[in-house]
Chains A and B, each alone.
Chain A
Amino acid sequence: MVEQNDNSHRGLREEAWRKELKKSIPARERTAIDRVKMTEEDAALRIKGHMEVNKGITAEMAMQEARRCLDCPDPQCIKGCPVGVDIPTFIKYIEAGAFASAVASIKESNVFPSICGRVCPQEIQCEANCIYAKKLNKEPVAIGYLERFVADYEYMASRVTPPETAPSNHTRIAIIGSGPAGLAAAGDLVKHGYEVTVFEALHEFGGVLRYGIPEFRLPKYIIDREIKNLQKMGVKFERNIIVGKTVTFSDLEDEGFRAFFVGSGAGLPNFMNIPGENLNGVLSSNEYLTRVNLMGADKPDHDTPVYFGKNVAVIGGGNTAMDSVRTAKRLGADRAMIIYRRSFDEMPARQEEIRHALEEGIEFLNLHNPVEYISNGNGHVSRIKVQRMMLSEPDASGRKKPVPVEDSEYFIDADLVIVSVGVSPNPLVPRSMPGLHVSPSGTILVNAGEMNSNIEGVFAGGDIVRGGATVILAMGDGRRAAQGIHEYLQKKAKSVE
């Protein structure tokens, strides 16, 4: 195992193998290589089911792609990564064929590379900073594909051995919520020897990874294997427990829990408060995706119902909107469309998702906004009154605001409308913890370094702190909080001695 510290990429760069490798191919040859193409399931076929769209790349393809990386002396990609993965090092390991070392070096800073390799918005993070994109006007090194490749390789080669854990120190820690923030915190804490229990309100673990992100983008077996791995390391998982309701923080304290990490997510869906929004057939993307992903509602042998819309409109332009509209297509929609008030340039969804959606025949009604939903006479939506929008000149903050075009309203047929206009923090935990400091928007306020809240022993991270953010940020928070909790408990133990 490669042992690394914060500045290790500098040290590692000086190793003989790495210098040799760099010299072995001239930079001009490296930059002449075309970016690898992900093998993808054919669009016509993939919309018939839930199979993963990206099928992965082979070892040869990965090694070839790794050769493109110039191993820059001052790598900017690392700065684009929210958790600072030592990207050039893992890529150079791939180039050298040392896949196991590549995964190990990623895992120093990112514990779930098989998840992040699939869902991170690389095009605005690491890959945006790649010298190919910045200086050479070429497609960046496919860092996300490479990350996914080595992470999957590790599993396929059955090389995953749970990381070493320190012997138990008999100190109990409670993790509230099993999304990426909670799982990352649990993994780090159990390594330190803590007795970690993850409490989850739902009947399955994984948070948004389970109920939100669809199978075709993040297959469920990947979450299952990460959770199994944590179980092997000794993390206990308790489902159907709502902390603050089923058990309170003080109950848990009485049971011997000495610190808490709150990773309860931003579960509360926003609506637009426009007429007709409570009609049947108008629902939040959280409801729609939960019915399908968590409850299996699209399968005839499952009990949960779902609408199989023929004309489906999804309001919004984020990942959640793309996931919903692409799911609707897979559930048999003739017409599945995005209604978004800005243009492609401002769309917050991952680029790859937008491209995949276009390939799958999703229509984009950009610069459009719904103003009213019309009933079919029986309480079910049948039409949407939409309005055309245009973008204003950039304001002081540089943002172009969407403004309605006068007299531009018209109607679109829709028998299913999925509202995907953002989420707010889940208020359950804050409400059950009097005295906990929260922002006006309901996020838990924490100290950015250690992630501790104003209540002693209570730490928080992920979407409950940031509002709807990303998997990698949630994971990074979880890890920082784990470190914060570890330091807090050590300090406390010392002061008792």
Chain B
Amino acid sequence: MNRVIAKEYLSPYVAQIIIHAPLIARKRQAGHFVIIKIGEKGERIPLTIAKADADKGTITLIVQKVGLTSHKVASLNAGDEIDVVGPLGNATHIEKVGTVLCAGGGVGIAPLLPIVEAMKKAGNKIISILAAKSKDLLILENEIRSHSDELIIMTDDGSFGQKGLITAGMEEILKAQKIDLCVTIGPTIMMKYASLLTKKYNVPTIASLNTIMVDGTGMCGACRVTVGGQVKFACVDGPEFNAHEVDFDELLMRLGGYKNEESQRYQKELEKTR
């Protein structure tokens, strides 16, 4: 059992929680995730580790309230208990390749942060492009900025940065300069279009997939994705894959799998907390 040290809202729907988890903090690398569970009757869900502090023995998770368990995570406060297991998945392959375009959308900016940081440290030039529905939903702008050579911000409603979808901003960059690698993390639909775009420009692209998971150790297959025509388990084979080979349509379909079952339970929880 681990303890929450601090909680803070980054936006009305996005909470950042810091958890005491010294073993994980020591082992964690960019790209790793954890599985968390709240309470005896809780569900196991994966969350990427946004930051870790090995000296303090803490990890930081950033979660958007989208369903029952993310709602419960966001409602935790300092001192509360949470089960955390990890670090899971394969770490991002960090290498000096030249110029890296880091495209993050929504709460996907959180898992992007450690990758931006590590890619910068490896000596790459970093162009980051962040997208959110509106200004108040944009997270970690300053953190990303501090590790980037260039930062572009896109909002759907134009309340901050440029108005438009992330792909519009990406295309401008792809047209203007040579990009050696693109890393994209965000809503699956965004990653799908980002990937189609970079494919057009022949830029190798990595996407970090957010599948449904149960155990996170390869035991159940709930996290199946098709990559390059082959079935992979995102938890042990991923979560990062060659974006150009990912069957995003199948992934989108699978993400909707438990929607009915889940929303009934979520509604009940919302009624309870009201």
Contact = CB atoms under 8 A, between A and B. Distances in A.
B208 to A, nearest CB: 18
A201 interface: yes
B55 interface: no
A268 B261 contact: no
Interface residues of A, number: 43
A279 B27 CA distance: 35
Contact of B219 (A241, A290, A300, A305): A290
B42 A426 contact: no
A82 B177 CA distance: 68
A426 B222 CA distance: 15
Contacts of B215: 201-202, 267, 290
B54 to A, nearest CB: 13
A268 B222 contact: no
Interface stretch (A220-228, A242-250, A348-356): A242-250
A240 B69 contact: no
B218 A428 contact: yes
B83 A240 contact: yes
Contacts of B231: 271, 273, 277-278
Nearest to A301: B41
Nearest to B43: A303
Nearest to A267: B219
Contact of B27 (A245, A273, A291, A301): A245
A428 B257 CA distance: 27
Main SS of the interface on chain A?
loop
B176 interface: no
Contacts of B134: none
Interface stretch (A280-288, A403-411, A468-476): A280-288
Interface string B236-274: 100000000000001001101110011001000000000
Nearest to B225: A278
B78 interface: no
B137 interface: no
B224 interface: yes
Name the residue among B72, B233, B258 with the largest chain A CB count within 10 angstroms. B258
Nearest to B250: A278
A278 B257 contact: no
B119 to A, nearest CB: 23
Contact of A268 (B72, B84, B87, B218): B218
Nearest to A202: B215
Nearest to A203: B83
Nearest to B23: A246
Interface string B62-91: 000000110010000000000111111000
B60 to A, nearest CB: 18
B24 interface: yes
B169 interface: no
A269 interface: yes
Nearest to B42: A303
26 contacts: A202-B215, A203-B83, A241-B85, A242-B85, A242-B86, A242-B88, A245-B87, A246-B86, A247-B23, A248-B27, A267-B219, A271-B221, A277-B231, A278-B254, A280-B257, A283-B220, A284-B220, A295-B214, A299-B41, A303-B41, A303-B42, A303-B69, A305-B258, A305-B261, A307-B258, A428-B218
Interface of B: 23-24, 27, 37, 41-44, 68-69, 72, 83-88, 214-215, 217-222, 224, 226, 231, 233, 236, 250, 253-254, 256-258, 261-262, 265
Interface of A: 201-203, 211, 240-242, 245-248, 267-269, 271, 273, 277-281, 283-284, 286-287, 290-291, 295-296, 299-307, 379-380, 426-428
Given A287-B222, A379-B257, 17 more contacts: A203-B44, A241-B23, A242-B86, A245-B86, A245-B88, A246-B27, A268-B218, A278-B224, A286-B220, A286-B221, A299-B41, A303-B41, A303-B43, A304-B44, A305-B265, A427-B236, A428-B218
Leading 9 A-B pairs by shortest Cβ distance? A305-B261, A379-B253, A287-B220, A303-B43, A280-B257, A267-B219, A240-B85, A305-B258, A284-B221
